[in-house]
Chains A and B, each alone.
Chain A
Amino acid sequence: MKIIIRRRFVEPPYLKFTLTILAIIISLIISMLIIYATASIPPTKFLYSIYSGLIDPSTLRYLIPLTLSGLGLILPYKAGVWNIGSEGQLLAGAIATTYIALYILPKNIVGYIGIPIILIASVLAGGGYALIAGYLKAKFNLNEILSTLMLNYIMIGLGNYLVYGPWRGETQYGYPRTDIIPNQLWINPIQFGGINVNPVFIPTIIIVAAAMHYLFKNTRIGYEIKVYGLNPDAALHSGISKTKIILVTMFLSGALAGLAGAAEILSIHRQLIRVQDVSAGYGYMAILVTWLSRMDPLATILSGYLVSALIASGYTLQIIAGLTIGAVNLFVGGLLILTTALDFLLKYEVKLKW
């Protein structure tokens, strides 16, 4: 038998999609086998919990922060700017939301004025926070991976300082959390076809994904971002401004993460709590969502849904099989590695000859 590996000249349509499905199936099989071998949990139980995650209504609850931040990350990642600071940018949005709602707006402000003000503030906070790292990279070539990571810890520290200190609520019996924000500022789910749907953020996700799809397909700036990512030198020679690309992509990605922070506060927590409870690592999981979608905005909704379902199924697993969330992480990790590995088949075709 001979194995022939050749570089592809054209990429077959749907290959990306097929490979992703393949990656999902293979990693599912591998994790089932490992879990069966180590904990004797029958594959059916594992499958059932994944399935239950997929249909669990609470999946939509994780989808919002993950997909919003994940969509944001597409922009810098396409430009080869590795923002891993969604976590901090999301928290910046959450903190700004709480601040505006509790300390700036009059207590009796109406929702349709107060909420837009809050959303704008959260976008500016998240985007502005990301700009710090963007500016340092554009001006001084400071590595953005390090700076965004460091900035996450600063924001975590700030958030916890606030809830344990100056912002600790008077009505909270001494718990480390702020007072509850006025209830006309809450965003409550509405019933839609029998499930609870967030009336602000779900439409926002769809609009943002469509807009980004259009941006990369049809606009000059989308093309400049892609070109810069492929060869920064060539971009520079052709008159594409490095500063512009870095600042724009970082700002927008931070802005969307900030919006995710606002979503968490306005529709879930209604107050700022300990930051590790506000964002349970959504900023990092968003990286995974982006990667799984291969940086395609529309596919990000699907990958966001998948990862959210896995989080939800993690809870089911705990209940029905006594497994910890680690079992789900095993699957997620496998999926990530396989997606990356199968990318090989996008560039090369492999044939077996007998």
Chain B
Amino acid sequence: MNMDKEPLLFIHNLSKEFGPIKALKNVSINFRRGEIHIILGENGAGKTTLAKILAGIYRIDSGDIILDGRKIRIRNTKDSLKNGIAIVSQYPKLIEQLTVAENLLLAMDKYGYLNTTKSIEKDAKEIINRYGLNIDLNKKVYTLSFSERQRVEILKALLLKPKVLILDEPTTLLTDKEKLHLYKFINSLRNEGRLIIVITHRIDEALNIGDRITILRNGEVITTIDKKNANKEMIIHEMFGATVEKEKQLKLSKRNGPGDTVLSVVGVDIYDDYGNKILENITLELREGEIHGVFGLAGSGLKELGETLYGLREYSGGKITILGQDLRRIDRDEMANMVGYIPDNILKSLILDLNIEQNYRVKQRLWRIQENYMEHIINKFRIKAESLKQNAGTLSGGNLQKLAVSREIILKPKILIAINPTKALDHISIETLHNIFMEYINEGGSILLLSEDINEVIDISDIVSVITKRKLRTLERGINKREHVLELLA
């Protein structure tokens, strides 16, 4: 196999502005055939913008894109596919009511508009077998889990036989096992001589799978390094520059012990979207001034648990009490006043067509909030924005997440229910947010942290529960060591 590291894709002096925002400034990167090239950078660095340019979703303002020694122009997604560049976006966009094969057919016009799925099945099966993808072509999409959907997206991309495959934050929603599977798979694609570009803000992931790593900061390329020469400290330094030290030493600790029970769940059954019981006989307690961390894998029912406690789902059996009131008696605006809530998908709680300020005001208690207070919050959470008038839809993924979290915690509700609150955040932003959580706890708040990130749960929780096999088990108070959690998972 020819594995020479010859240049395949060369981008030269790319710039992209959105009004006053310079998202990319004279970016030049040399991508080689047969490598896994990581684009790493803090929230708002310009990673997604770069991916979208290559995928033909945004057009460049200036600069050149050279593929196989030839200058190409990418004006739309068709151009990009024609040149053999395919992208797997962070959130799969499939049509729920169609089967996998039908979805594939929709994406592919080379099979003609009138053809049945037969023609595509042969090609798809070949790819499935070659890479061991484990996809059932005849299943309806709505029955698929997240990782299955992502595999469908990858299959869709591979049907186009791309030279360049771009994955934008591919592992955000995968379990550890699924991640390993994906890494293995990416490796075999690389070994066929394709170029794989992986966008991520996770340093460990970059070091784990990348051959070379390009670090972006504020829309500029800081450096491109070989994995052999890289280590975590130096990458952190390059990614964040001077902000690192400041946040590091801040690390707050807690003062008070747990107080009264603010939320209690006794013997409750919880259901998924299709009415299947996803959690059985749940019992759970949250006390004032503590973080109760619940760890579960993606799809284990974390999301459904959070939604049920916030009053968005039906439940049966047992009883849920929030601040002394039966959940069934609490109406929506009362709930929003007592409980802060960060949903699994922040697009459920933000309005992309409104600006930052207007998004804050959506919450009744923030209706009359002062502008300078908002600005203070933006700085505190390190939300990267031009002004309060910037549309939420134009914020980067991580900054959008910070906006959603900040809005829920600003007015210090008694309880915060947070589902994967740091999911899209970079290394430093996670530290910042954890510090803010501690401050909130010290002021008498309580957090129910529902997280797929085992380290996060272990690091900041006072008490830990684990979801396995539709059951929730709580470890003894004080015991939250990794081994115990893993033991329960086994």
Question: What 0/1 pattern do residues 233 to 267 of A give for CB contact below 8 A with B?
Answer: 11111111100000000000000000000000000
Which of B20, B348, B352 sits near A9, CB closer than 8 Å? B20
The answer to whether B333 touches A230 (Cβ under 8 A) is no
Residue A345 CB within 8 A of the other chain:
no
Report if A284 contacts B (CB, 8 A).
no
**How far apart are B49's CB and chain A's nearest CB, in angstroms?**
14
Write 22 A-B pairs (CB below 8 A) sorted by A numbering: A9-B18, A9-B19, A223-B367, A231-B352, A233-B347, A234-B350, A234-B362, A235-B362, A237-B312, A237-B343, A237-B349, A238-B364, A239-B334, A239-B335, A239-B336, A240-B332, A240-B333, A240-B336, A240-B362, A240-B364, A241-B332, A241-B333
CA distance A240 to B19 in the complex (A): 33
Query: For the complex, is A139 an interface residue (Cβ under 8 Å from B)?
Result: no
| Given known A-B contacts A9-B19, A230-B353, A223 and B361 have beta carbons under 8 A apart | yes
| Nearest CB of B to A340, in Å | 18
A236 to B363, CA, bound (A): 10
A236 lies within 8 A of B312 (CB): yes
Residues of B within 8 A of A7 (CB): 18
* Alpha-carbon distance between A227 and B350 when the two chains are bound, in angstroms: 10
Q: Which of B333, B348, B367 contacts A234 (CB 8 A)?
A: B348
Q: Mark B349-372, 1 if CB is under 8 A from A, else 0.
A: 111111000000111100100000
User: Does A217 belong to the interface (CB within 8 Å)?
Assistant: no
**Interface status of B483 (Cβ within 8 A of chain A):** no
CB distance from A308 to the nearest CB of B (A): 33
Give CA–CA (A14, B231) in the complex, Å.
56
Q: Is B440 an interface residue (CB 8 A)?
A: no
Asked if A220 is an interface residue, CB under 8 A from chain B, the answer is yes
**With A and B bound together, what is the CA distance between A223 and B359 in angstroms?**
11
Nearest Cβ distance between residue B160 and chain A, in whole angstroms? 27
Interface string of B294-324 (1 = CB under 8 A from A): 0000000000000000101000000000000
Within 8 A of B (CB), among A197-229: 220, 223, 227
A238 to B411, CA, bound (A): 13
Shortest Cβ-Cβ A-B pairs, 4 listed: A239-B336, A9-B19, A239-B333, A237-B349
- Interface contact A230-B351, CB-CB below 8 Å: yes
- Residues of B within 8 Å of A220, CB to CB, are 364, 367
Max chain B C-beta neighbours (<10 A), residue from A7, A223, A236, A237: A237
Q: Which residue of B lies closest to A219 (CB)?
A: B367
In the complex, are the beta carbons of A234 and B332 less than 8 A apart? Answer: no
Does B28 sit at the interface, judged by CB under 8 A? no
B335 partner residues in chain A, CB cutoff 8 A: 239
Contacts of A238 in B (CB 8 A): 336, 349, 362-364
Chain B count of residues within 8 A CB distance of the other chain: 27
In which size bucket is the chain A interface? 10 to 19
Residues of A within 8 A of B363 (CB): 238-239
A-side contacts of B331, CB under 8 Å: 241
Q: Is the CB of A236 within 8 A of B332?
A: yes
Query: Which residues of chain B have C-beta atoms less than 8 A from A233's C-beta?
Result: 347-349
Distance in angstroms between the alpha carbons of A236 and B341 in the assembled complex = 11
Complex CA gap A58/B98 in Å reads 56
CB distance from A248 to the nearest CB of B (A): 14
Contact A227:B349 (CB < 8 A) given known A9-B19, A239-B333, A239-B364: no
**Residues of chain A lying within 8 A (CB to CB) of residue B349:** 233-234, 237-238
Are the C-beta atoms of B332 and A227 separated by less than 8 Å? no
Using an 8 Å CB-CB cutoff, how does the interface string of A314-326 with B read, 1 for contact, 0 for none?
A: 0000000000000
Q: Compute how far the CA of A6 lies from the CA of B347 in the bound complex, rounded to whole angstroms.
A: 24
Q: A223-B361, A238-B349, A241-B331 known; 6 other A-B pairs, CB under 8 Å?
A: A236-B312, A237-B312, A238-B363, A239-B332, A240-B333, A241-B332
Q: Which residues of chain B are within 8 angstroms of A234 by Cβ–Cβ distance?
A: 348-351, 362
The answer to whether B337 has its CB under 8 Å from any CB of chain A is yes
Which of A7, A223, A239, A241 has most B Cβ within 10 Å?
Answer: A239
Closest A residue to B354 by CB, please name it.
Answer: A230
Contact residues in B for A230 (Cβ distance below 8 Å): 351, 353-354
In the complex, residue of chain A having the shortest beta-carbon distance to the beta carbon of B18: A9
Tell me which residues across on chain A come within 8 A of B367, comparing CB atoms: 220, 223
Interface string of A85-108 (1 = CB under 8 A from B): 000000000000000000000000
Q: Which of A220, A227, A234, A235 has the most CB of B within 10 A?
A: A234
A9 to B367, CA, bound (A): 24
A231, A236, A238, A240 interface centre (most CB from chain B within 10 Å):
A238
Taking CB atoms, residues of chain A closer than 8 Å to B361 are: 223
Cβ contact within 8 Å between A227 and B351: yes
Closest Cβ of chain A: how far from B12's Cβ, in Å? 21
Name B14-40 residues within 8 Å CB distance of A. Answer: 18-20
Bound form: Cα–Cα A240–B363 in Å: 8
Could you tell me the distance in whole angstroms from the C-beta of A237 to the nearest C-beta in chain B?
A: 4
Q: Is the CB of A227 within 8 A of B312?
A: no
A240 CA to B332 CA, complexed, in Å? 7
Chain A residues near B20 (CB, 8 Å)?
9
